[in-house]
Structure formats: structure tokens, C-alpha cells
Amino acid sequence: MKKTIDAFIASRNIAVAGVSPRKGNWGLMLMQELKKKGYSVYPVNPKFAEIEDAKCYGSLADLPREVENLILAVNPQRSIEMIGQLPVSGIKRVWMNQGIGQGAFSEEGLDMLKAKKMEYVYGFCPMMFFGKGMHKFHYWMRRKLGKTPVEFSLN
């Protein structure tokens, strides 16, 4: 997974599914943080045409082809539906967001990604790698408690 996380961090174009203008929406908070870090963020939600002055895409097929990374900030069932859309997109890597609880992860979604031979990340909140402060502390705690694969090491 480290190679895939490194590719996510290196890319400057990231789609985030599940963004809404609703206050407290995790996808919106993730989009805002990524934009602060200089990433071009492409919100995906068929219910909105625009969110915070950013064009909102109705489906993965609508995304520009240069967008190769997708963070799923949706429930597991919606995550499975979106993974089903991957063949009609330019997405190469998928991150099933996990904060508190299950997040976007499901065994079925993981099996689908494996069958499609996609690069994937699960079991981590993306902000542990893109963020700072408490997010980095959360990552540090998981490492100390043995809750991360040995291959991970942040400097």
C-alpha cells in the first residue's frame, strides 16, 4: 500500500466522491484540506453542479482523463457502486476512506478492486498522510500501537 499512498501524494489531481456543501461533511473537509496543500480537487456528487466554486462531477465517467486518483468518502454501498463505474474513467488508484468506523470500506468493494487489478488503499484516513497536527499524531499513535503495516514510515 505504501507505493499507492506515495502515488496519491505525488499526484496533483484527486477526485473526492461524497463531497457536499453541508457543514460538517467529511468529503468537503477533505476537499478543503487538499486544496490548501495545492492539489486540484474534483468533487464527485450527482446532486450538485458546483461546490465552493469547484465544478462538481456527476459520475466518474465525467471526470477529466488526467484525474487518476479517487478518494471515496461515501458509505460502503455507494463505494461499491462507484467502484463499478471505474472502467469508464481514467482512475488508476482508489482510497476507501476510513476514519472512525467502517468508512467507505467493504469486503465486496475490496474484492472488486482486486478483480479489476486496481491500486487501492484502505484502513487509513487520507489526512494521516496529507494532513498535519492531530492527523500526524493519529498516524504516530497507530504506528506505536502496531496498527499499521511495517512498510509505512513517515519522516
What angle (nearest 5°) sits at the alpha carbon of residue 126, between those of residues 28 and 64? 65
- The per-residue pLDDT for 97 is 86
C-alpha cell of residue 20: 457536499
> Would residue 28 count as lying in a domain?
yes
Is the predicted pLDDT of residue 152 greater than 50, yes or no?
no
Q: What is the pLDDT of residues 90-140, one digit of tens each?
A: 999 999 987 555 689 999 999 999 999 999 998 878 887 766 655 554 455
CA–CA separation, 10 vs 14, rounded Å?
10
**For the whole model, what pTM was predicted?**
0.84
> Would residue 67 count as lying in a domain?
yes
Neighbours of 91 (CB within 10 A): 22
* φ, ψ at 29 (rounded to 5°): -60, -40
CATH number at residue 70: 3.40.50.720
Helix (H) or strand (E) holding 51: strand 50-51
> Would residue 144 count as lying in a domain?
no
- The per-residue pLDDT for 22 is 93
Residues 6+ apart with CB under 8 A from 35: 41
> Would residue 108 count as lying in a domain?
yes
Domain that residue 122 falls in? 2-127
